[in-house]
Structure 1
Amino acid sequence: MGTSEDDIERLLGKLTPRARALLLSGATTWRTRAEPAVALRELVMSDGPAGVRGQSWDERSTSVLLPSATALAATWDETLVERLGGLLAAEARRKGVHVLLAPNLNLHRSPLGGRHFECFSEDPELTGRIGAALVRGIQAGGVAATAKHYVANDSETDRLTVDVRVGERALREVYLAPFEAAVGAGVRLVMAGYNAVDGTTMTASGLLADPLKSEWGFDGVVVSDWGAVRDTVPTARAALDLAMPGPDGPWGEALARAVADGGVPEAAVDDKVRRLLRLAARCGALGDERPPARAPMRTRDVRALARRAAAAGAVLLSNRGVLPLDPGRLGTVAVIGEHAARTRTQGGGSAGVFPQDEVSVLDGVRAALRGRARVVHVPGPRPDGPAPALDASMCADPRSGLPGVLLRVLDADGAELYAERRGGGRLLEPRPVPGARTVEISARLRPRTGGRWTLGVAGFGRMSLALDGRVLLDGRYPPATDDPAVVHVNPPARYAAAELVAGRDVLLVARRELAPGTGRATVVSAAPPAPDTAASLAGAARAAREADAAIVVVGTTEHGESEGYDRTGLALGAGQDALVHAVAAANPRTVAVVNSGGPVEMPWREAAGAVLLAWFPGQEGGAGVADVLFGRAEPGGRLPTTWPAVLADAPVTRTRPADGRLPYDEGLHVGYRGWLRQHRAPAYWFGHGLGYTTWSYEELRVPPVWRTGEDLTVTVRVRNTGERAGREVVQVYLARPPGPVDRPERWFAGYAAVHAGPGETVTARVRLPARALRHWSVEHHTWQVEPGPCRVMAGRSAGELPLAAEVRASA
């Protein structure tokens, strides 16, 4: 039957003002409060967007891991993204989660953004379309989606305090636009970010009321980012509805007192509680409301969909006749690079999950060629980056002798309160035990290589690291930040060096004192001596020379792309760049596979026979990449973001505030718009991506008049001029002649994907939304449409638009 608005009013009337106020803070880190008086149950929340972690970080509670958000946007396939949203909903239901904290609708304003991989695109229209598709898919599965982080939370440096200065027009047309699309898709929560905009922190910003709740009609819940509420009255008087996490925080009893004292109007609290009750009813957590039973997805179907997504988002940046590789003509294939064997499937930070499984590129290639060709792996030079966390392949629990580590929780006297074997050295939430004072992680390390090893422990507070009883590290390391992503998820490590003998086990013991304010994370890491670079390069080149084809995989490392930090550069490092150069010089049939979440510099891109962008491809990534390499699937991806050849070329790079402020001086000219404005050519334009066939753009048809407030449909005729069937993403951009209204040189307005066999002609029907024609008038604080001519262009990317026609904008 459902809960009506009258039912919500009746339930609201059963609650005292104090009870209402207390409902608006979390009960725990991931749960809202229950209220038996109105049959309100707890709502469980979980981070996304590439997987659903649930309430705890534990490698024994695994999650399906999808490709990164950049890879999802690269599919330019809203139907597929909806299906992936449905998969996330099924995962959420499996884990008892009502609210998924996804999608992330912030923009790729600068290529240095540390959380680039978790956001979709540099373009507000594409971000809005892909984000809305994910929202629809999640919510059709009975789980609430959350549009985050409202708004202009586009970089990580000083993100808790940065004051973003952005003009009213750019705010409306660029940064708010994807959130408006999410509200249009029915999103049930919007998350207010940590940052301030134009002097006011987002949790107290008037933007939560207008345009979000008033103009757009958002009837859901505005939730704070975790720990973003720092005071009581200003945030409660604003349109923020729910302060997370709990139970401690600036709301709770303080909010109840502020209501009793008249500092916060009862009407404001009542509106917040109505929204919370409405959300609970929609999620099946109120009264008799229960979510309908749904059959779980079969494991093989989940894996097949994740594999398809990895291929659909893979972007073929260049191809000199090398791809697809024909397995029937291959005797030996060299797979080169550490990233080939340890493919990075996800970015760092709160979006991280422990995946059910991880298929590396090496695994995928071996499976594809099993029984058909010989596969040789050579790691090459070690990528720059920190030592990885211990995993079960290199160590054993000293108590049981089984693979993994021994976790012990100790009291103040060092007595054991609790112990268990865990799978690796990355432990984010040891079981809470009364009287716990210290967490200890010990492992019998089994070095396969002798020499000078790097050993480390990450965390905050008093920490020590000992090797066979010899203390290597011992000190106090207070948090240098209160950023929860750093404190609780990704703390810095302290390192020491030790000489180890191959085949001789050693006992490694790390301890961290569980003091208040020092977070939850403890990570023990180990790395063998780095191989000689010259010898590694020579070995890689030799393997490539002796093979029929070479696949070299390079990419970023764990701390290079992560929540909590912005990137300092786009270079992969001298070793990885030299590796691709050496392999490509040794074998012209070299495919370079890039394993990153965002742009990287590729000084070797012209030397490689083909360059394939795999992104962070999720748990089935290696299988999906292999499908593309051997032609089982077409590389379906198109770039959602412009890639510079070198960082210095990028029009917008600044992510670091000055005096607490970060000006968005570029205004509307973000991404490809900035490149066009500055008349610069990137390495690869927004929208770029090749398939395994070629296309001719033959005709663009446009109606003569575009009426204000109406969508416009244009048709584009294209011909498959190649020898294979394929998919083409037909893109349409708009431009206006110079005039009193400042505009981008051109801007993306719509797209449609078409399929055709060899020699076939097909017509793409591209719907251009009415909003593509409008601009925000700062003078009148409203949307307006400037009458007159408008140029419509169609093609394959923002930099390749062979067709053009004109339409007249009319009231």
Structure 2
Amino acid sequence: MFTTPPITALVERLTLEQKVRLLTGASMWSLHDEPTVGLRSIVVSDGPSGVRGTAMDDRDPSASLPSASCVSATWDLEQVRRLGSLIAAEARAKGVDVVLGPTVNLHRSPRGGRHFEAFSEDPYLTGEFGAAYVGSVQAHGVATTAKHYVANDSETDRFTVDVHADERTLREVYLAPFERMVDEGAWLVMSAYNTVNGVTMCANPLLREPLKDEWGFDGVVVSDWGAVHDTEPSADSGQDLVMPGPDGPWGAALVEAVKAGRVPQSAIDEKVARLLLLASRVGALDSGPAAAPVESWDRSAVTDLLRETAADGMVLARNDGTLPVEPRDGLTVGVIGQHALRARAQGGGSASVFPYHVVTPLEGLRDAYGEHAVTFAPGLPPADELHPFTRGTVTDPFSGADGVHVRYLDPDGAALEEETIPSGRLVWLGDPRLAAAHRVELTTLFTTDRDGRHELGFAGVGGFVLEIDGEAVSTDPLTAPGGDPVTAILNPPSRTVSRDLDRGQTVELRLTYAPELPSGFPVALVQLGYKDLFGDPAEELRRAVEVAAAGDIAVVVVGTTETLESEGFDRPGLGLPEGQDELVRRVAEANPRTVVVVNSGAPVLMPWLDEVAAVVLSWFPGQEFGAALADVLSGAREPGGRLPTTWPAREEDVPVWQIEPQEGRLAYTEGLHLGYRAWLKRERAGGRGPALPFGSGLGYTSWRIDEPTVSTAGDHVVVLADVTNTGARPGKQVLQAYLSRPGSAVERPVAWLAGFTAVRAGAGERVLARIEIAPRAFQHWDTDAHGWTTEPGTFTLRLATSAADPGHTVTVTPASGRA
């Protein structure tokens, strides 16, 4: 047993019933307490890109960090460590002990719905970023959760898909990031919804071997929410904790199975011991150490870090010299696109948080260049989506405070409870008030800021009556789209009604909601808000072209949305939404100094890439989007990003396109060759390359990289190279070390990433870059011996600035292969 005597003694004080009770959650976001052993409740929260807390709406705002794909584009582990300190501080401020992140599944296909939430297509880069996240958050006594273990790399049929991957592929590619985070000391690992090689992950042998037995993981295996559906197979496996609670498949059924001898008592004791060890680590045990102190962050420090990180992750994909554009007297900037007006700072799903503010590109550019210098035109119709009323735009008619008045009503219409929420978005996750309510009533006052037509309405699933100034204007129910309850919350159906209103006119909106809870569990979302309006499409496009032509530069912002990139579904294709490509081309025709900003969390097609002056990939960059973008375009900051995933030119070129299961099975037939590895393999065979290779990205200065030298430090190979900034501006360069093995006796990728470093230097400055390469980089998984082995002889090391850069090559011999 891995536990210490004090933990073992606590386990022995509990009855079987007390032990089993601890192994299912107490609620959606908390675990049971147990006074017998001095255990308080442990609180968990979603947290890959910020810590949401126990509310999934605006009642408890959070810092909105750049998405994982943006963070990993920095190729700077120190940025992750600083973000980790912020995450720990946010968690502690919200009373959260366990953050459900990082997500370290891979970008197997650019169509993956949660692509933005994961770091990279490369297992090594993913593992290094995941480990930095784990180490920095847990250094402050807040637990992290490596998820989703394992091969949970797409969303189609995510509850039932059976992923088939061979032993070597699992070990070298999909398990590798998790192993790295276990080495770093991760306190939890989340078992995934999917099945691997015929066995659901909540009962899969992979939970024991390699996770717990070989790797020595001493933490808690928590299920994804609702992933456990059986009693004995999961309980007899490496699964430790079922979420959410209080109901689930273990409970009394598991007690009976243990008493009957079908599940060993030792399995229960081990699970409880792991849970108590976690409690000790986060300060939830009276007999254990207190929670580690965490220094709080003021709002300005949060803003500065998130602004810096967002800019450092933005990738300059093309630049003919137009960028940077420094502010100057008389400069005119045409800003075009709905994404400039309504920033897409994050993707959809459980990674979502609700920030105090989001700086839009339009706001950021006006602040940088001046209100007088910037002219805006949307160009295209807005996305067809309902926007909840935001903070400060509506008023509770009963208290006069900002927000919406909510009453929970019994069958007679009496209020069971009342509250004011700050915005028009309300989400219940396991809230007993929703379970007890016969109806919920939302009332607010909305005052217009313009004359004309308004589209006012609501979104959700269930029975609804909408009244405007006491008149019932909508009485029909809204029905859930599909069977995934998460999707119903993330992308609910909506309905609006049109009203012509005068500027300054106040109307009362009352929405009465009859909850529809088919599972019996109180999980629901209701939104009260509006839809964006748009003029004549032809006229708006013509005006956008005029705005572009009149500017010294034109900045057109295009991209996806959180309803297109989200948990619950995969993207059907990689094209931008309808009309955006044409908008880019029309703007570029009108102004040769057109800068395109692509606001997406994952690759999109850019058929106009070579037709515009500059392209900046912003990803989903968090709450400081517009400020960071303005820093990059104006040259106040370097666009520091390099691609953590390959961007294709055409859909038909993508090596791994198929992510829909066939008869319930999804085969990872590409094996070791995914991402840039697959592209290199195809190019070696004479095929087309991508639009933008893995690791690539431009800056605002130039560099010289001298020939590297190779030495050893213990069992590590050390690569050193002088790097000189030969330009007139300070800048950042990312050096990447790729290994290859010509003539290998085993199948290998053409090349694979083995190390990297980000270096910064002033104009004319020379710095020494150092990359350490661990022994694992040279090893492969031997399926006969079921272990790691190093092929004797030499390897080729290429020091480069992308997977496609020829760079400098040297021959190296791993320490384990030396005489």
TM-score (ref. length: structure 2) = 0.93
C-alpha separation between the residues in 1 aligned to 2:102 and 2:635? 31
Query: Paired residue for 1:343?
Result: 343
Cα separation, 1, equivalents of 2:532 and 2:627: 28
Please state how far the C-alpha of 1:555 moved relative to its aligned partner: 1.6
Match of 2:679 among 667, 675, 678: 675
Q: Show CA shifts across 1:438-477 (max 9, x none).
A: 2233455566678886665433333444556344451362
1:766 aligns with 2:771: yes
Cα offset, 1:554, TM superposition: 1.4
Higher mean alpha-carbon deviation, 523-532 vs 255-264, is at 523-532
Q: Secondary structure at the match of 1:53?
A: coil
1:540-551 superposed matches below 5 A: 540-551=544-555
Deviation track 1:618-649 (CA, whole Å, cap 9, x = no partner) reads 11222122111111111111111001123222
Q: Which residue of 1 aligns with 2:811?
A: 806
Deviation (angstroms), 1:491 = 4.1
> Distance in 1 between the 2:647 and 2:634 partners?
26
Q: 1:241 to 1:178 in 2, by over 3 A?
A: same
Q: Compared with structure 1, are the counterparts of its residues 678 and 539 closer, same or farther at alpha carbon in structure 2 (3 Å cutoff)? A: same
Tell me the percent identity: 50
Q: Is 2:114–2:567's contact at 8 Å kept on the other side of the alignment? A: yes
Pairwise mapping of residues 95-106 of structure 1 onto structure 2 (< 5 A)? 95-106=94-105
Q: For each residue in 1:695-743, what CA deviation from the matched residue of structure 2 results, as whole angstroms up to 9, or x when unmatched?
A: 233313335xx89x93211223333232212111011111111343111
**Contact 2:730/2:761 (CA < 8 Å) preserved in 1?**
yes
Q: Is 1:653 equivalent to 2:661 in the alignment?
A: no
Query: Deviations along 1:36-78, whole A, 9 cap, x unmatched?
Result: 1111111110101111111112313111111111111111111
Paired letter, 1:697: I
Alpha-carbon distance between aligned partners in 1 of 2:509 and 2:286, rounded to the nearest angstrom: 52
Q: Distance in 2 between matches of 1:320 and 1:115?
A: 33
User: Structure 1 101/90 Cα, relative in aligned 2: closer, same or farther at 3 Å?
Assistant: same
Partner amino acid, structure 1, of 2:734? V
Q: Is it true that 1:460 corresponds to 2:444 in the alignment? A: no
Cα separation, 1, equivalents of 2:377 and 2:252: 61
1:714-793 to 2 correspondences below 5 Å: 714-793=719-798
Q: What corresponds to 1:624 in structure 2?
A: 628
Aligned to 1:313: 313
Between the aligned partners of 1:392 and 1:40, the Cα distance in structure 2 is: 38
- In 2, are the aligned partners of 1:634 and 1:692 still within 8 Å (CA)? yes
Q: Which amino acid aligns with 2:215?
A: W
**Which structure 1 residue ranges, 4+ long, deviate > 6 Å from structure 2?**
447-453
CA contact (8 A) 1:634 1:691 kept: yes
CA distance, structure 1, for counterparts of residue 347 and residue 740 of structure 2: 36
Q: Deviations over 1:245-291 (max 9, x none)?
A: 11100112222221112111011111111111111111101124311
Specify the alignment match of 1:514 in structure 2.
515
CA 423–686 in structure 1, closer or farther in 2 if over 3 Å, else same: same
Structure 1 residues 291, 393: CA separation in 2 closer, same or farther (over 3 Å shift)? closer
Q: 1:494 to 1:80 in 2, by over 3 A?
A: closer
Query: For 1:138-287, what aligned pairs fall within 5 Å after superposition?
Result: 138-287=137-286
CA distance in 1: counterparts of 2:455 and 2:170, whole angstroms = 47
TM-score, normalized by length of structure 1?
0.94
Deviations 1:660-715 (A, max 9, x none): 11111111111111111222311111101111111233313335xx89x9321122
Equivalent residues of 2:386, 2:458 under 8 A apart: no
Give, in angstroms, the shift of residue 423 of structure 1: 3.2
Q: Which residue of 2 aligns with 1:694?
A: 702
Partners of 2:414 and 2:572 in 1: how far apart?
Answer: 44
1:391 and 1:365 map into 2 onto residues whose CA distance is 22
Distance 2:258 2:645 in 1: 47
Distance change in 2, residues 1:646/1:384 (3 Å): farther
Task: Indicate the residue corresponding to 1:32 in structure 2.
Answer: 31
Structure 1: gaps (5+ residues): none
**Contact 2:409 2:441 (C-alpha < 8 Å) held by counterparts:** yes
Shift of 1:358: 1.5
Describe how 1:557-596 pairs up with structure 2 within 5 A. Answer: 557-596=561-600
Identify if the C-alpha distance between structure 1 residues 716 and 652 changes in structure 2 by more than 3 Å, giving closer, same or farther. same
- State the match for 1:297 in structure 2: 297
The secondary structure found in structure 1 opposite 2:266 is: helix
Contact 2:557–2:597 under 8 Å retained in 1? yes
* Aligned residues between the structures: 803
Q: Report how far residue 388 of structure 1 moved.
A: 2.7
Q: Tell me, in whole angstroms, the C-alpha distance in 2 between the residues paired with 1:393 and 1:55.
A: 23
C-alpha deviation, 1:336, in angstroms: 2.1
Task: State the shift of 1:479 in Å.
Answer: 6.5
Give 2:647's aligned residue: 643
Q: Is the 8 A contact 1:51 1:65 kept in 2?
A: yes
Residue identity in the other structure for 1:12: V
Cα 1:418–1:681 shift into 2, 3 Å? same
Match of 1:50 in 2: 49
What secondary structure, in the 3-state scheme, does the structure 2 residue paired with 1:130 have? helix
Distance change in 2, residues 1:461/1:452 (3 Å): same
Do the aligned partners of 2:461 and 2:493 also contact (CA within 8 Å) in 1?
Answer: no
Structure 2 residue aligned with 1:614: 618
Q: Which amino acid aligns with 2:297?
A: M
How far apart, in 1, do the equivalents of 2:573 and 2:450 lie? 32
Following the alignment from structure 1 to structure 2, what is the Cα–Cα distance between the partners of residues 184 and 209?
Answer: 16
Pairing partner for 2:476 from 474, 477, 501: 474
Moved more, 308-317 or 203-212: 308-317
Closer, same or farther: CA 225–402 of 1 in aligned 2, 3 Å: same
- Summarize the Cα distance change of 1:771–1:400 in structure 2 as closer, same or farther, 3 Å threshold: same
User: Closer, same or farther in 2 for the Cα pair 1:801/1:718, shift >3 Å?
Assistant: farther
Aligned partner of 2:84 in structure 1 is: 85
Which is further off, 389-398 or 611-620?
389-398
Between 583-592 and 340-349, report the one with greater CA deviation: 583-592
RMSD across aligned C-alpha pairs, in angstroms?
Answer: 2.4
How big is each residue's C-alpha offset from its partner over 1:349-377, in whole Å with a ceiling of 9 and x where there is no partner? 11111102211122222222348x62222
Tell me how far apart the structure 2 counterparts of residues 479 and 561 of structure 1 sit (CA, whole Å).
17
Out of 34-43 and 788-797, give the one that drifted further: 788-797
- The alpha-carbon distance between structure 1 residues 392 and 189, as it changes in their structure 2 partners (threshold 3 A), is closer
Q: What SS class does the counterpart of residue 312 from structure 1 fall into?
A: helix
How many Å apart are 1:387 and its aligned residue? Answer: 3.3
Alpha carbons of structure 1 residues 805 and 622: separation in structure 2 relative to 1, 3 Å: same
Where 1:339 maps in the other structure, the secondary structure is helix
Is the CA contact (8 Å cut-off) linking 1:385 and 1:558 kept in structure 2? Answer: no
How much does 1:295 deviate?
3.2
* Equivalent of 1:539 in 535, 539, 543: 543
Query: Partner of 1:287: helix, strand, or coil?
Result: coil
Query: What per-residue deviation string (whole Å, max 9, x for no partner) do you get for residues 111-141 of structure 1?
Result: 1111111110000000000110011110111
- SS at the partner of 1:328? coil
Q: Distance in 1 between matches of 2:691 and 2:384?
A: 25
Q: Distance in 2 between matches of 1:549 and 1:793?
A: 39
Q: Corresponding residue for 1:485?
A: 486
Deviation at 1:557, TM superposition (A): 1.7
- 2:116 maps to which residue? 117
- How far apart, in 2, do the equivalents of 1:478 and 1:802 lie? 53
Indicate the SS of the match to 1:480.
Answer: coil
Q: 1:22-47 CA deviation, whole Å, 9 max, x = no partner?
A: 11111111111111111111111010
